[in-house]
Chain A
Amino acid sequence: MNDYTKYLTSRVTAGGLSRREFMGRAMAAGITLAVADKLFTESAEAAEPKHGGHLKLGLEGGAATDSKDPAKFLSQFMFCVGRCWGDMLVESDPLTGAAVPALAESWEPSKDAVTWTFKIRKGVKFHNGKELTIDDVVATLKRHTDKSSESGALGVLGSIKEIKADGGNLVLTLSEGNADMPLLLSDYHLVIQPNGGVDDPLASIGTGPYKLTSFEPGVRATFEKNKDDWRTDRGYVDSIEIIGMNDATARIAALSSGQVHYINRVDPKTVSLLKRAPNVEILSTAGRGHYVFIMHCDKAPFDNNDLRLALKYAMDRETMVQKILGGYGKVGNDFPINSTYALFPEGIEQRTYDPDKAAFHYKKSGHSGSVLLRTSEVAFPGAVDAAVLYQESCKKAGIEIEVKREPGDGYWTNVWNVQPFSTSYWGGRPTQDQMYSTAYLSTADWNDTKFKRPDFDKLLLQARAELDEAKRKDMYRTMAMMVRDEGGVILPMFNDFVNASTKQVKGYVHDIGNDMSNGYVATRVWLDA
């Protein structure tokens, strides 16, 4: 079976492909009718979820300092733990990234997208037996939007002006129109808790498919099935155990010896070794996270667009993806959006490595001497290697790069967003609007390229309130072009999320939303005996 057929059958298993679609594509790929038919039946049988069993996950990212308060979820470990016991108002579709109902049944915007009305689901019970009410929803959102809150979602919800209950409905009034409001509520911090978790933020009582039975920060979390779950299309295993494993080799050893069923953060360098283990499946999902080289547009010598262009043309993206990501990624095009986003602007020409063009722009910029690039291993895995690779590809264009390795401690405080040229990492955001608002709006705290353009800001705000999708897509295209051709970001690659499981694990959903099946891995898979 080649990779494409494997991909097709996995889509069937995940329930994302109908028989007709599968047969059409499989035969187009040169598979005979009989074989395709057999493949489909097998994958569709595998798609029949089995119940029961004890699922064990070994995850990187847990720490003794982890807090059970959803407002303070930071690590990958807690991200996954929270998804097991809690629900948000809205979820995102694994394949398209669009907003789909969860605890909110449906929603309706006003014409200017300023006022949003969410209908809250009835008959949902918390783990403690209490029924979910509109008051719980309001209290939760109020806790996370309080100005003195330490919630990780505070920034996302910044535009909410008023939160109130109207009958059984939740009504949100924003300070300006935002067509993406429902998606913002899918943020993993916004777990709906009884009375908003105000009384006891650490209680871990939610409406999710599993109840938390024990928790030791950084060590282990265990769950048992919530028998009163309001949904039947999730929560297949009886119990879950999530073990914190921060050592990459420990994770691989645990998986290949069958002690855990699933691990996250597989180092691209070791994937080929892990692939050889007979019982292991590599799960690689295209993601929105991207590795970047950031130049401050307002500081010499980077205030010169020709120099910025020269440095962009001098980036060998293909080599980066091969060498730094081990092929588990896609090339970037110097703007922070890829095809996993809804309304992705298609048809923008891919920028490629072009030493001649780089040399041309470099000459035109009038800059001479070397360019200082600061980097550190914490910027992204392989950042130092990437900087040295870049130094080589620049050399061919006659540009001299001086690589300075900074200590990982305090890199985010002392180098990133402070020094004019450095390496960094961005996790994706649920929407294009959020990505641009976080890092490219003139007034954004994290505008790490110091990209300040009033026309860009204006377009961003217009697009945010635009409910007509076609018009919106057009605006996003213009914005992408601005960032690509005049911005301060060199974006060589988007990294895939690389995880691995034993072959016993079935039904894994490749969710474009975020890593580990958008955190839902434990609630979505089942174990094949």
Chain B
Amino acid sequence: MTNPAPSNVLPGLRFRQRFPLLALILERFVLSIVLLFAVSVLIFGGLEALPGDFATTYLGQSATPQAVANIRRDLGLDRPVTTRYVEWLGSAVQGDFGTSWASKNSVSEQIGKRLGNSLFLAGFAAVISVPLAVGLGMLSVHFRNRMPDKIINVISLAAISLPEFFIGYLLILFFAVKFGMATFPATVYDSMGLVERLKAIALPTATLVLVVLAHMMRMTRAAILSVMSSAYMETAELKGLSAFRAIVKHAAPNALAPIINVVALNLAYLVVGVVVVEVVFVYPGMGQYMVDAVTVRDMPVVQACGLIFAAVYIFLNMTADILAIIANPRLRHPR
């Protein structure tokens, strides 16, 4: 009865042929999950391998054997690693990251707040830096090898060459200390209004924008330039399009894929890599939270932060891949 129709095509392959885009997206998605799982193992294992455990590190020089024993017993640190890993992963999947060992607060709740702060800062920086970078990139292509291009390049190269803490200090020195124009420290808290909040994050946002701008701008410039040298751009020029119109209409769409990639990379950096900026500006975000936790080996917090950082990174990269595939149909058919 169950006599399948003879076919030399596997069902999976048939699905792939019919919906190449969807298949690729699904594949990327599954890969991301697997990757995230691998990261969780790495995080847990890495923390286990660190010298000193929570009890001794938390109490520091003032650890009496009695206090150390009390803490270890309370936290169940005596149980095997695998048991603790499985338990942790089990609740983490459901969004429960447990309680902080040091402060006894709910980690999920704390992270909710901190992640919100980090995303707020990163989002604000992104809203300013992405259009600015792409716009400046196009502008510098338009004026390539002329004065505006050179100025844009020199300034952005200078900004990217300075470490972010130094840019931060310079901004603080001039805008907060010397002229008293900006709010410092950039500490935000629950009861703060939106206007006040935006004022508070002005300086860290400016720092972040300066840090990521050059990278995105230069990638945009390079990608468009490489397209510009292709034959159809010559055609566009020959049929009499204005240079700017040619860039926006014909070159930019074809240069999208690499631009999307570098934008995603920088967005991920804005969320994950701003630890130094958060410390310098006393901004209560995820980076600061994780640094505090690592110092005392507050495992539930470190694990949660690590996992979330990994998730942000993987998600943004996945999105970039997918967007790049959509923007460039040729990528849909792997050779």
Contacts and interface: CB of A to CB of B under 8 A. Distances in A.
A147 interface: yes
Specify the main secondary structure of chain B where it touches its partner: helix
A282 interface: no
Interface in A61-80: 63-69, 74
A250 B280 contact: yes
A218 B292 contact: yes
Contact of B282 (A243, A258, A407): A243
Contacts of B100: 64-65
A123 interface: no
Given A218-B288, A413-B51, A253 B64 contact: no
A343 B187 CA distance: 45
Interface residues of A, number: 47
A216 B189 CA distance: 8
Contact of A65 (B66, B113, B281, B296): B296
Nearest to B179: A257
A277 B114 CA distance: 34
B51 A409 contact: yes
B65 interface: yes
Interface string B283-295: 0100011001101
Contacts of B229: none
B308 interface: no
B280 A63 contact: no
A414 interface: yes
A309 to B, nearest CB: 27
A217 B70 contact: no
Nearest to A216: B189
Interface stretch (A23-31, A149-157, A172-180): A149-157
Interface in B172-228: 172-173, 176-177, 180, 183-185, 187, 189-191
B298 interface: yes
Interface residues on B, range: 35 or more
A215 B295 CA distance: 21
Contacts of B317: none
Interface stretch (B87-95, B103-111, B263-271): B103-111
A67 B185 contact: no
Contacts of A414: 51-52
A228 to B, nearest CB: 25
Contact of B288 (A64, A74, A220, A412): A64
Given A247-B279, A249-B169, A219 B51 contact: no
B176 A257 contact: yes
Contacts of A409: 50-52
B282 A63 contact: no
Interface in A193-220: 202, 214, 216-220
B169 A217 contact: no
Contacts of B114: 64
Interface string B36-76: 00000000000000111000111111111111001100100
17 contacts: A64-B288, A150-B67, A150-B70, A150-B71, A154-B67, A155-B62, A214-B191, A217-B103, A219-B187, A220-B187, A246-B279, A250-B172, A259-B183, A409-B51, A424-B61, A425-B61, A445-B65
Interface of A: 58, 63-69, 74, 147-150, 152, 154-155, 202, 214, 216-220, 243-247, 249-250, 253-254, 256-259, 407, 409-410, 412-414, 416, 424-425, 445-446
